[in-house]
Amino acid sequence: MSDYLIEVLTDINLCNEQFVKSFFQDLFNNLNQSLKPEYFNLSEPINRSFEKEGIDSAINLWLSKKKPLMLRRKNKPKYIVDINWRSEKGLDERLFPWKTSVWLNYAAGDNLANELFRFLIRHFNPGFGLLTTYDDNKEKHFISYETNIGIVEKYIGIDIFEKEEILPGIYWVTYFNSWAIKKLGKEKFNNLSAHQIESYNNGYIITSYNSSKIIGTQEAYNIENKIKEHLGVKYFFNKNNFDVDKTR
């Protein structure tokens, strides 16, 4: 099984001093000991040590450079956290333009993966979030096609644009905030058939099936497709409907 992939999409100010301090305080004081980061930096290589430099050094670097840090664990369970943000949205047409991605070693296990996912939801207040595996995300969103300049490879359908308002998809664990719930219809969540439906952080966390071990199997896809059908297939991205000719 490939690494877990956790992603949350948000529109909040990630360089607000209160946000940054609260994030690190909760990260080191309340999160499972096994999930605490060991290294930080503005970019790779992620080699500045929390143990040697302290939490305040990381907070000051984040705030002074007005840029979120990358985080890393070298010991098990290993992970890398990449937080994307800029001070101005500009002409960006995405509703939730800032993304936090975590590549967490699969050896961490489902419980720790879910704990980290909920931690990110609590702090980043995302419009949408997902917990799956790297391979599953690639299968659903990665395309490769021939053009007059050669082979083009890219990920598609991973953002929510203002004009389309299409959600990326349904995964092993999917988070919908109040915006997405209103769009899909709150009543649909009341009788949704899934392994678990949890009210969380002014939204819902939908766990499609009980274990990550079946991610990417036909059984998993069947369950995910039934959830999409219930919530409305038209609201979700489907790679099979992507028209490559329009991109040429």
Q: How many CB atoms lie within 10 A of CB 188?
A: 13
Cα 147 to Cα 144, 179, 245: the distances in Å are 10, 37, 10
Q: pTM for the whole thing?
A: 0.96
- CB of 198 closer than 8 Å to CB of 207: yes
> So where are the chain's domains?
4-241
Q: Going residue by residue through the chain, which has 248 residues, state the pLDDT in tens, using 9 for 90 and above.
A: 899 999 999 999 999 999 999 999 999 999 999 999 999 999 999 999 999 999 999 999 999 999 999 999 999 999 999 999 999 989 999 999 999 999 999 999 999 999 999 999 999 999 999 999 999 999 999 999 888 888 989 999 999 999 889 999 999 999 999 999 999 999 999 999 999 999 999 999 999 999 999 999 999 999 999 999 999 999 999 998 877 665 55
Question: Which contacts (CB < 8 Å, 24+ apart) does range 57-63 have?
Answer: 58/24, 59/20, 59/21, 59/24, 62/15, 62/20, 63/15, 63/17, 63/20
Structure tokens at 224: 């995910």
Q: How far, in Å, CA of 164 to CA of 170, rounded?
A: 17
Q: What is the CA radius of gyration of the chain?
A: 18
